Amino acid sequence: MKLLRLVPSNTNFDFLKLRNYAFIFSTIIILGTLLSLFVNNLNYGIDFKGGILLELRSKNINSSNIDDLRSKISTLEAGEVSIQNFGKDVDFLVRIQKQDGDQKQQIAMIEKVKSITNKDYEIRRSEFVGPVVGDELKIAGMLAVGLALISIMVYIWFRFEWQFSIAAIIALTHDVVTTVGLFSILQLEFNLATIAAILTTAGYSINDTVVIFDRVRENLRRYKSKDHYFIYNKSINETLSRTVITSVTTLVALFIIFFFGGAVLSDFSLAMIWGVLIGTFSSIFVAVAILTFFNIDKGEKIQDEKNVPEYERNN
Amino acid sequence: MNNLSKIRAAFLLFLVFLGIAYAIPNFLNSSVKNTSFSFLPGKSINLGLDLKGGSYLLLKADMDIVFSEKLEILLSDIRSALRKSKIGYKKLSVNDKKISFQKRDLIPNDKIKSIILTIDENLIVTINENTFFIEFSDLNKKKIIKSTMAQAIEIVRRRIDETGTNEPSIQQQGIDRIIVQLPGLDDPSRIKKLLGKTAKLNFQLAHPSISSEDININSKAPPGYTILVDDKDPDLFYMINKRVMVSGEMLKDANPTFDRNNSPSVSFQLSALGGKKFGRVTGKHIGRAFAIVLDGKVVSAPVIQSQIFSSGQITGNFSTQETNDLALVLRSGALPAPMIILEERSVGPGLGADSIQSGKIASIVGLVAVMIFMLMTYGIFGLLANIALVCNIIFIIALLSLIQATLTLPGIAGIVLTMGMAVDANVLIFERIKEEYNVGRNVSDAVEAGFQRAISTIIDANLTTLFAALALFSFGSGPIKGFSVTLMIGIATSMFTAIIITKYLVLFYTKKKDINKIKF
């Protein structure tokens, strides 16, 4: 059987030569993110904004009509309402802004929407988030992302050198920021699941970075006479096959969630597909590229390179 | 070869079988499970509300109202304490969450202070010349919150239990919040209605001469009286005596029934003490209107025809459903604080079933796709990795069942994602073996060195991912917490299967088959 080979063995590609282009690319997407955040902001879901969300399915498959639903709901005078198809033609997502007045008005509005729609529509899901909870979730979300970044930074600092930890955290922030940017530019709904997607992406990206760093650390000690540039490139090349294969398997899984996981998970998986791509990119072109700005101490040399079996060497 | 000892193999097999035993209840329907497979140890995974359908409510007890009620009680305690000690006072009132009064006589401030502190030694008393300010200390407040919440949870549980909802879960969250989870209930409007009433029931006399026709919202109440609005008609007002003659705490039972005109009403029985009081009041005030006040609104104000003792009827403009609900909330007792609904999420059974279905399809297709890819890339080694992957999935399901973690839709996504990432550890090992082999080692050495070198990378890479998962867990809200638990379990099991099981399989394959060439 002929085996699939995504990456030829013993590649010797000068990745770091591309770091300037990569830097321009990163700058563009980060500026794009900031611009989009400034112009479009984020399309916060009710988790963060507060409000009402209903998922409806038309009971009459033939005459499911978004205009009919719209006119029905407009009679409620509920303020800002958005109605869109969700996954299938007969499924609709209705979002209603938070109502003026106290909590009772909010609850009353849900009941009103339910009562005018439940004859023609099956209410598949209804959610209400009060503004207090929304703000709390927002803060908790930011804390979670911050906490994750800091704990990862400390761990890498502890396991590697401080330069690695700085490079990793910049790469990671790059990924988080641009993932947020993706949501802003495409105006995808930014909700609790998005935070989960961002943190998982961060986990994936750091995983990828650590694998390359691990090899860099090993090669720094092995090739004392070579310069850093050579060592970094070699490390990227040596791990390239793994990087590609793991990205592909993870992407395969994610695309399958995207296509088969239903409408609820589609934005979630989209965020992670982006995250895997940008995470792989940043491990090489941000994390390792930043290492080139430092003159990292090569440490104690590994005595031999070939003849002694590796497991018998001293580390 | 130590690594291939029979004991080790037996141990790994044992673990896998244990995993299968715990995982398998998830794949059986309940009737088969309870009969033919009742010997199996574990339970099925706990499905989240987003998968099995149901409602989630986050309630907050309105403590401000409780504090002001408690402050009123404290005010009357202070009044009686001052009177008992014969201390003159004026302007005793509640202002801005504080009680204040001025002393009339030249009694030392310390003495007055110590009298007040005998009511509760934790009160904060501040004195400004002749004016005393009394407020609750943090300790007082903490105690009030604690007892209020304990009582509130109990009453919420009683009310929900009375509706016959299956396996409701009611738990406190934070300081003043309650999470209510109602599996299988996709329309919580009745529960919300039931929890929306504090159901404080009072019997109070109406004014003997001022009737409803004479007053509107702007009328002025004579001392000792207050104007209350009708429960149903916002334009109907009553002049009601402030004094509560009999209160809902003296109720023994309440049931929906029909009155003489065959309209729905609620019959109630009072406790012995309540009956005695009720008898005394009704005996003394025949011919006067006796108002039934629920949560500050007048349900009805029938004229007392004759002396009534321990049982009576509440009539009003009720529907049958309303009398059912009213009887229920009266039976369960009054909530100590009004409940505010902060968050509500309901998922109907249709969406839940669809989510499970698409989750299943995504998992199976994901698994098959990843396996085919591994087989194509690594051949026999890919097959070994696939065996480890299947073991990994079995372990994840078994652990989720064992710790009874809640599986949510994002959690299923977590499992599918784990499949993609779990092979990473195998990929790291195989790539390393390939490298070691390519620099000229024999198969056995390359395998040994490959594992040796890859393990530290695997641990570093997975531990950092674990930090992200831990952050998610601490952020923890419902479905997201479920996702992070699946992710953490996935990280742990994939490290275990890659380092232990894949290694065993690879060593077994290369040694026993005496493989001396690796090609991938």
Instruction: Note the pLDDT of residue B39.
Output: 64
Q: Average pLDDT for residues B368-380, to the nearest whole number?
A: 90
Residue B298: both structure tokens together: 């007048």
Domain check: are B479 and B356 in the same one?
Answer: yes
Q: Kindly determine whether residue A126 and residue B346, on different chains, have CB atoms separated by under 8 Å.
A: yes
Instruction: Note the pLDDT of residue B479.
Output: 63
Domain check: are A110 and A138 in the same one?
Answer: no
Domain check: are B107 and B231 in the same one?
Answer: no
Residues B165-211 pLDDT 10s: 888 889 898 889 999 999 888 888 888 888 888 888 889 999 888 88
Domain check: are A114 and A153 in the same one?
Answer: no
Q: Tell me: pLDDT of A308 over 50.
A: no
Domain check: are B416 and B296 in the same one?
Answer: no
Residue in B closest to A251 by C-alpha: B420
pTM: 0.79
Residue B74: both structure tokens together: 């404290």
Residue A8's Cβ-count burial label (10 Å; 0-12, 13-18, 19+) is: exposed
Q: Which residues between 13 and 72 in chain A have a beta carbon less than 8 angstroms from any beta carbon of chain B?
A: 55, 57
The residues with which B135 forms a beta bridge, in sequence order, are B124
Angle subtended at Cα A138 by Cα A186 and Cα A185, rounded to the nearest 5 degrees: 10
> For the domain that residue B288 is a member of, what is the CATH number?
3.30.1360.200
> For the domain that residue A56 is a member of, what is the CATH number?
3.30.70.3400
Domain check: are A27 and A171 in the same one?
Answer: yes
Asked if residue A10 is part of any domain, the answer here is no
Asked if residue A282 is part of any domain, the answer here is yes
Report the run of H or E that residue A131 belongs to, with start and end. Answer: helix A131-159
In the 8-state DSSP scheme, what is residue B218? Answer: T
Q: Kindly determine whether residue B467 and residue A192, on different chains, have CB atoms separated by under 8 Å.
A: no
For residues B92 and B54, is the Cβ–Cβ distance under 8 A? no
Confidence band of A311 (pLDDT split at 50, 70, 90): very low
Structural domain range at position B506 = 2-52+349-512
CB atoms within 10 A of CB B403: 11
ipTM of the complex: 0.82
Instruction: Note the pLDDT of residue B146.
Output: 92
Helix B189-196 and helix B320-332, axial crossing angle in degrees, nearest 10: 50
Domain check: are B114 and B237 in the same one?
Answer: no
Report the run of H or E that residue B228 belongs to, with start and end. Answer: strand B225-229
3-state secondary structure at position B405? coil
Domain check: are A114 and A235 in the same one?
Answer: no
Instruction: Note the pLDDT of residue A312.
Output: 42
Domain check: are A151 and A285 in the same one?
Answer: yes
For residues A88 and A128, is the Cβ–Cβ distance under 8 A? no
Residues A151-188 pLDDT 10s: 888 888 888 888 999 999 999 999 999 999 999 999 98
Domain stops at, among A92, A112, A129: A129
Q: Kindly determine whether residue A206 and residue B358, on different chains, have CB atoms separated by under 8 Å.
A: no
Chain A and chain B share a number of CB contacts under 8 A equal to 249
Residues B128-174 pLDDT 10s: 888 899 999 999 999 999 999 999 999 999 889 888 888 888 989 88
What lies within 8 Å, CB to CB, of B213 at 6+ separation is none
Strands B225-229 and B131-135: unpaired
Residue B432: both structure tokens together: 């390393």
Q: Which residues between 248 and 307 in chain B have a beta carbon less than 8 angstroms from any beta carbon of chain A?
A: none
Domain check: are B459 and B440 in the same one?
Answer: yes
Amino acid at B306: S
What lies within 8 Å, CB to CB, of B154 at 6+ separation is none
Interface test with A, best of B59, B342, B436 (most A CBs within 10 A): B342
A235 touches chain B (CB under 8 A): no
> For the domain that residue A247 is a member of, what is the CATH number?
1.20.1640.10
Length of chain A: 315
Domain check: are B101 and B13 in the same one?
Answer: no
For residues A193 and B479, is the Cβ–Cβ distance under 8 A? yes
Amino acid at B488: M
Backbone torsions φ then ψ of A98, nearest 5 degrees: -70, 140
Domain check: are B489 and B421 in the same one?
Answer: yes
CB atoms within 10 A of CB B291: 22
Domain stops at, among A96, A129, A162: A129
Asked if residue A188 is part of any domain, the answer here is yes
Domain check: are B447 and B397 in the same one?
Answer: yes
Rounded Cα distance, B427 and A245, in Å? 7
Asked if residue A304 is part of any domain, the answer here is no
Domain check: are A84 and A194 in the same one?
Answer: no
Residue in A closest to B417 by C-alpha: A253
The region that residue B129 occupies, defined by phi over 0 for left and psi between -120 and 50 for alpha, beta otherwise, is left
To the nearest whole percent, how much of chain A has pLDDT over 90?
24
Confidence band of A315 (pLDDT split at 50, 70, 90): very low
Confidence band of A212 (pLDDT split at 50, 70, 90): very high
Rounded Cα distance, B366 and B293, in Å? 62
From chain B, the residues in CB contact with A257 under 8 A are 362, 366, 413, 416-417
Between the CA of residue B225 and those of A180, B207, B220, B228, B442, what are the distances in Å?
60, 8, 9, 10, 100
Rounded Cα distance, A187 and A137, in Å? 20
- Where b means 16+ CB within 10 Å and e means fewer, A127-140 reads bbbbeebbebbbeb
Quote the number of domains for chain B: 3
Asked if residue B84 is part of any domain, the answer here is yes
Domain check: are B363 and B490 in the same one?
Answer: yes
Rounded Cα distance, B395 and B390, in Å? 9
Of B60, B359, B471, the CB nearest to A199: B471
Quote the number of domains for chain A: 2
From chain A, the residues in CB contact with B174 under 8 A are none
**Sign, Cα dihedral of A194, A199, A200, A206:** positive
From chain B, the residues in CB contact with A254 under 8 A are 416-417, 420
Between the CA of residue B65 and those of B62, B144, B145, B198, B228, what are the distances in Å?
6, 12, 12, 12, 18
For residues B331 and B146, is the Cβ–Cβ distance under 8 A? no
Place of tokens 């509130």: B152
B350 touches chain A (CB under 8 A): yes
Domain check: are B257 and B282 in the same one?
Answer: yes
Strands B177-183 and B169-173: antiparallel
CB atoms within 10 A of CB B340: 20
Domain check: are B281 and B357 in the same one?
Answer: no
Asked if residue A198 is part of any domain, the answer here is yes
Structural domain range at position A252 = 15-42+134-291
Domain check: are A159 and A276 in the same one?
Answer: yes
Domain check: are B274 and B243 in the same one?
Answer: yes
Domain stops at, among A129, A148, A175: A129
Residues A4-29 pLDDT 10s: 777 777 777 888 888 889 999 999 99
Q: Which residues between 211 and 230 in chain A have a beta carbon less than 8 angstroms from any beta carbon of chain B?
A: 211, 214-215, 218
Q: Kindly determine whether residue A195 and residue B475, on different chains, have CB atoms separated by under 8 Å.
A: yes
